[in-house]
Structure 1
């Protein structure tokens, strides 16, 4: 039996599929095509490998024996992680990621491309972001309307939805009962500095 035949059979069993069910997923009229593939009687054209992989909820590389074993159904491999600084209190006049502002380093998914993280205090962004949640931020000087931004106001950093209206900036919380809209105009705008955009959330670390 070929590698593909062996892995096809194993993966089908892992998913709890009968040969008839797999044949239906592949658009075959009967299970005979699957039977012949599993016994190595028939070869699968390269153009059909990707289709078979999708039917078996795996990858062509797995079926061909070119990568690591496929995880069981319902399980996902751990993402690639990276370390980012968790910011504590912010010293006035320092960059937010200055050494004296860093509380510790935490592991977050590398796919987020986060530069640092902040701990949320209070319920102003509840239920989206709860008290104690760690929010990961990607450094960027501008954000789109309505995105959640880490905004520095003097020596404090706050997480709010960012809106620009003409010459004014409005920071909106999800829980308006706790935190009414914060509006900045004129010289007040000089107090504001966008540190970045929220790209991920860690809860229960």
Structure 2
């Protein structure tokens, strides 16, 4: 119906002259259609649909097709996080820095890089062997927060909850698995410990 075409033009602020000029449609075709007030032919309906970004059915019937996409589903914006190798969830282990690898994850994750967890010492924090842990760079974390920590003069790395007591010169790296003991550093040993950053998120595969 011509009224549908007229409505589309009004909604978009498009004149009939502009439409005809943009699409190469003969103005007399629109005029005849308007005067007869009948359903337009398929060719014209297709031209109108493509021009206004609607369906051909809508142009010809005025009925909008129901969307097959749930309205509560939103696209996730992604970005690349550099993968710096593995980090131990158990005894500290050497970690290779591999900036050739990247992990795609949501832009809502405020991290600088990620590491792959190795071991089961953090299972009570729901971080399992093989999970990707996202790290935000910072030199210190609050007591009880999980951090990526390098020890033994940065030759080994581990993921643990950190508890630091400067008045006692004591740093405790606590696992989330009772099968593992705490790592305790005191005095001069603190010089061998460096916090890479805070764990802010993790990504698990369905198991």
Give TM-score scaled by structure 2 length: 0.56
* Residue in 2 that maps onto 1:187: 188
Query: Please, which of 71, 74, 79 is the counterpart of residue 77 of structure 1?
Result: 74
Matches within 5 A, 1:10-159: 72=70, 75-88=72-85, 101-102=98-99, 104-127=101-124, 128-153=126-151, 154-159=154-159
> For 2:186 and 2:100, how far apart are their aligned partners in 1?
33
Task: Provide Cα deviations, 1:88-146, integer angstroms capped at 9, x if missing partner.
Answer: 269xxxxxx99x53351011111111111111111000132101111000111111110
* Structure 2: distance between partners of 1:111 and 1:170: 30
Gaps of 5+ in 1: 3-68, 91-96
**Within 2, Cα distance between the matches of 1:155 and 1:84?**
23
Quick one: distance in 1 between partners of 2:203 and 2:175? 19
Structure 2, unaligned runs of 5 or more:
1-6, 8-66, 88-94
Cα distance in 2 for partners of 1:189, 1:174 equals 22
Aligned length: 131
SS across alignment from 2:191: helix
Which 4+ runs in 1 deviate beyond 4 A?
none
RMSD: 2.9
TM-score normalised over the length of structure 1: 0.57
Shift of 1:174: 0.5
Structure whose CA Rg is larger:
2
